[in-house]
């Protein structure tokens, strides 16, 4: 399945040997919150068969498989790989399980798409990259925020130079997710939606702000430094549920914030983070509802631009678009936008936030 791939550094984004138009067989591992979104993405692709699902709890796996049109269920990962001989494995498990699952798939020549966060330590993530390179299989991290329609549009608008060179980036989302509220008086909304949040530590930076950091990298390039502050507010969680990060991207300053412990804001779920990007010739605004407004503002010209795009089912579509990108690049041989080499930079930036918390100092992200 992977013969003929060129030699590659695990820390460099590289293309692969095209798989062409032949049928592709996919198996999934993990039966949690994201599984239905992944399954929908695979079912939408022509020439792709989603053949099996593995989860430790067989009864849960059988129900998830039935609901999502997956014909075969396994309760052991290696047995599934041996029994199905897939072209692709889609890993939707907690990050501590990823290294062993990537190693098992790579050893069998199976290409891999893996949910974020890719691992729990930078050492494990780099080892996963090295394992994929050694076995000449392709490994992409499922970082779906980049594929949300408004972020694709913002990337396009920045490339057009409408607001000039970016000098400031602010991304924030605040909502009552880990605390009880008037709308959710008995059980916090986020914990009801994703129960593992209650025991996950670390929490909001590793699980959620990692998305915002990846978007910031996509828009601004690589960060030079980072300073973080965070707190645990809710008694219903063990990890931090409020955090603010300040970063320097060359000449641009960025502030990235998220809180699941903020009452008084609109009831979750939110469609998007609120984003402001200021440039030398204007500013771009993304609302919590996923709407973009551009204000061009320079001597002799003040102009408002409101681009149109389809926001229908945007959350689910971002999963499908990520999976479609993975499959298209496998077929064409093109480099993945969020391959393991690229995502290691996002992951290192995320872990740098915890180093900053530990030291109380600004730190440099390092691989």
Q: Where in the chain is the domain with CATH 3.30.360.10?
A: 146-309+348-359
- How much is the pLDDT for 6? 42
Q: Helix (H, G, I), strand (E, B), or coil: what is residue 168?
A: strand
CA distance 286 to 159: 16
Q: How far apart (Å, rounded) are the C-alpha atoms in residues 244 and 308?
A: 31
pLDDT at residue 4, rounded to an integer = 40
Q: Are 351 and 367 in contact (CB under 8 A)?
A: no
Question: What's the CATH number of domain 24-145+318-336, 2.60.40.180, 3.20.20.410, 3.40.50.720, 3.40.50.300?
Answer: 3.40.50.720
Q: In what order do the strands lie in the sheet with 292-298?
A: 225-231, 242-249, 252-259, 166-174, 274-279, 282-286, 292-298, 301-305
> What mean pLDDT is predicted for residues 98-104?
98
Instruction: Tell me the per-residue pLDDT of 73-85, one tens digit each, with 9 for 90 and over.
Output: 999 999 999 999 9
Residues of the chain with CATH 3.40.50.720: 24-145+318-336
**Four-way CATH pick for 146-309+348-359: 2.40.128.280, 3.30.360.10, 1.20.1260.10, 3.40.50.300:** 3.30.360.10
β-bridge partners, 357: none
What pTM was estimated for this model as a whole? 0.94
- Of 271, 310, 307, 264, which Cα lies nearest the Cα of 287? 271
Q: What angle do CA 267, 272, 277 make, to 5 degrees?
A: 130
Structure tokens at 180: 């009880």
Q: If you compute the radius of gyration of the chain from its CA atoms, what whole number of angstroms results?
A: 21
Residue 343 in tokens: 């995502």
Nearest to 5 by CA among 23, 18, 22: 18
Instruction: Compute the distance between CA of residue 131 and CA of residue 273 in angstroms, rounded to an integer.
Output: 35
Peptide bond into 342 cis (omega under 30): no
Cβ atoms of residues 221 and 250 within 8 Å = yes
Q: What is the pLDDT of residues 296-340, one digit of tens each?
A: 999 999 999 999 999 999 999 999 999 999 999 999 999 999 999
Confidence band of 17 (pLDDT split at 50, 70, 90):
confident
Task: Measure the CA–CA gap between 262 and 87, rounded to whole angstroms.
Answer: 44
Predicted confidence band of residue 9 (pLDDT cuts 50, 70, 90): low
Q: 317: closest CA among 92, 152, 189, 95?
A: 152
82 contact partners, CB below 8 Å, separation of at least 6: none
pLDDT digits (tens, 9 = 90+) for 259-299: 999 999 999 999 999 999 999 999 999 999 999 999 999 99
Average pLDDT over residues 48-65: 94
Q: What is the per-residue pLDDT across 198-234, written as a single tens digit (0 to 9) for each?
A: 999 999 999 999 999 999 999 999 999 999 999 999 9
């Amino acid at each position: 399945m992977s013969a003929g791939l060129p030699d590659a550094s695990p820390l460099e984004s590289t293309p692969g040997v095209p798989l062409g138009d032949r049928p592709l067989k996919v198996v999934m591992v993990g039966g949690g919150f994201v599984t239905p979104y992944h399954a929908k993405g695979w079912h939408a692709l022509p020439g792709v068969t989603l053949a099996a699902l593995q989860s430790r709890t067989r009864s849960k796996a059988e129900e998830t498989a039935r609901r999502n049109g997956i014909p075969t269920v396994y309760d052991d990962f290696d047995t599934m790989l041996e029994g199905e001989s897939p072209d692709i494995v889609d890993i939707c498990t907690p990050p501590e399980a990823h290294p062993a699952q990537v190693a098992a798939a790579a050893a069998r020549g199976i290409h891999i798409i893996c949910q974020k966060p890719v691992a729990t330590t930078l050492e494990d993530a780099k080892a996963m990259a090295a394992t994929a390179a050694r076995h000449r299989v392709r490994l992409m991290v499922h970082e779906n925020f980049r594929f949300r329609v408004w972020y694709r549009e913002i990337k396009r608008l920045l490339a057009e130079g409408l607001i000039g060179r970016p000098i400031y980036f602010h991304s924030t989302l605040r909502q009552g997710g880990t605390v009880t509220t008037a709308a959710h008086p008995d059980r916090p909304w986020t914990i009801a939606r994703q129960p593992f949040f209650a025991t996950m530590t670390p929490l909001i930076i590793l699980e959620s702000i990692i998305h915002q950091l990846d978007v910031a990298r996509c828009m601004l390039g690589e960060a030079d430094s980072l300073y973080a502050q965070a707190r645990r507010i809710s008694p219903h969680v063990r990890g931090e549920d409020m955090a603010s990060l300040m970063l320097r991207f060359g000449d641009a300053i960025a502030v990235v914030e998220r809180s699941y412990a903020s009452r008084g804001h609109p009831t979750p779920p939110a469609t998007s983070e609120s984003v402001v990007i200021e440039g030398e010739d204007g500013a771009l605004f993304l609302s919590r509802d996923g709407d973009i407004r551009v204000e061009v503002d320079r001597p002799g010209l003040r102009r408002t631009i409101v681009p149109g795009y389809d926001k229908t089912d945007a959350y689910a579509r971002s999963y499908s678009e990520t999976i479609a990108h993975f499959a298209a690049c496998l077929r064409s041989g093109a480099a993945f936008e969020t391959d393991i080499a690229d995502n290691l930079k996002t992951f290192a930036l995320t872990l740098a936030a915890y180093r900053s918390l530990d030291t109380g100092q600004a730190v440099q992200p390092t691989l």
